[in-house]
Amino acid sequence: MVRRTLSVIAVLTTLTACGATPSTAPGQGRGNDENDPVERLRVEVIEDLPHDSEAFTQGLEFSGETLYEGTGLLGQSTLRKGKAGAEPDVTVALPDSLFGEGITVLESTVWQLTWQDGIAIERDKDTLAEVRRVNYEGEGWGICHQAEEGRLVMSDGSATLTFRDPETFEAKGTVKVTENGAEIDQLNELECVGGTVYANVWQSDDIVRIDPATGEVTARIDASGLLEPGEAQGADVLNGIAAYPGTDQFLITGKLWPKMFRVKFVNVA
pLDDT of residue 35: 74
pLDDT for the residue numbered 36: 81
DSSP per position, the chain: -HHHHHHHHHHHHHS---SPPPP--S-S-GGG-TT--SEEEEEEEEEEEE--TT--EEEEEEETTEEEEEE-STTT-EEEEESTTS--SEEEEPPTT--EEEEEEETTEEEEEESSS-EEEEEETTT--EEEEEE-SS----EEEETTTTEEEEE-SSSEEEEE-TTT--EEEEEE-EETTEE---EEEEEEETTEEEEEETTSSEEEEEETTTTEEEEEEE-TT-S-HHHHTT---EEEEEEPTTSSEEEEEETT-SEEEEEEEEE--
Band of residue 34 on the pLDDT scale cut at 50, 70, 90: low
pLDDT of residue 107: 92
How high is the pLDDT of residue 204?
96
Q: Which tens digits make up the pLDDT trace of 41-92? A: 999 999 999 999 999 999 999 999 999 999 999 999 999 999 999 999 999 9
What confidence tens digit (pLDDT) does each residue in 6-32 have?
A: 344 444 443 333 333 333 333 344 444
If one counts the domains in the chain, the total is: 1
Of 214, 113, 111, 196, the closest CA to residue 148 belongs to: 196
Residue-wise pLDDT for 93-142, tens only, equals: 999 999 999 999 999 999 999 999 999 999 999 999 999 999 999 999 99
Number of Cβ within 10 Å of residue 71's Cβ equals 26
CATH number at residue 198: 2.40.128.630
Q: Kindly report whether the global pTM for this prediction surpasses the value 0.85.
A: yes
The range of the structural domain enclosing residue 112 comes to 2-267
